[in-house]
Amino acid sequence: MIVAIDGPAASGKSSVARAVAARRQLTLLDTGAMYRAVTLDCLENNVDCSDEAAVTEIAKRAHISFDATDAGQAVLLDGRDVTGDIRTPQVDEHVSAVSAIPGVRRAMVALQRQLGANGDVIAEGRDVGTVVFPHADVKVFLTADPKARAHRRAAQRQGKDVAMDRSVQVDVKTERSVLADLIRRDRLDSTREESPLRPALDARHIDSSDLRLDEVVTQVLAAIDEVRR
């Protein structure tokens, strides 16, 4: 069983994928975290994120893996836990440019397919159902209104979880900055030449703007159960 969840930044893909993975005993593959790890590697080594050749070399040599911990799934870069380091505003700023580089995408797609070779995987990202696993058993395109996504991401940066409490208040200035960045990333991700963000033709569309996390998870679980019947 391979489940592919695609969608724009802060649409809730990671939270949904984690919950579904736990409920259906699937291995979670966070493809976005892999591009973030490459971006972090570039930033830490003072590599210009617009230098395609240099960034591609970083992607080719980077050892990216996942590890289960008591706190959840950890992202490892060359054996080092970078789970928190890849979620900073600086990585946010550069990850779309890095992930648009053809050489980087080829390196990551090859690794993603290798990690998913044993099946029973739920993968989330931008091109999982269209490029990485085009023959996935279940494909979901998860989206949400940009303002709703900005509120979620701003809350995350303050250590809060909108999925658990929709009344969460966030700093207005931070939320506006996040909204501008999300709109910029949406444009870059959907217009890039290599594997642009778009729903697979056979994907199920879910708009999570006004849905709780458990409501979205229920819809994805129902789609999985339909296939397994």
- Residues 188-227: pLDDT tens digits? 999 988 889 999 999 999 999 999 999 999 999 999 999 9
pLDDT tens, residue by residue, 16-51: 999 999 999 998 999 999 999 999 999 999 999 999
Sketch the domain layout of the chain as residue ranges: 2-144+196-216
pTM (two decimals): 0.86
Please give the pLDDT value at position 73: 86
Contacts of 137 (CB under 8 A, 6+ apart): 1, 2, 3, 224, 227
Q: What whole-number distance in Å separates Cα of residue 61 and Cα of residue 42?
A: 12
Among 11-15, 135-139, 160-164, 174-178, the minimum mean pLDDT is found in 160-164
Pick the CATH number of 2-144+196-216 from 3.40.50.300, 3.10.580.10, 2.40.50.100, 2.30.30.280: 3.40.50.300
Asked whether the predicted pLDDT for residue 162 surpasses 90, the reply is no
Residue pointed to by tokens 């056979």: 202
What mean pLDDT value characterizes the chain?
93
Query: Rounded to 5 degrees, what are φ and ψ at 165?
Result: -145, 100
- Specify whether the CB–CB gap between 16 and 135 falls below 8 A: no
Measured CA to CA, the distance from residue 166 to residue 152 in angstroms comes to 9
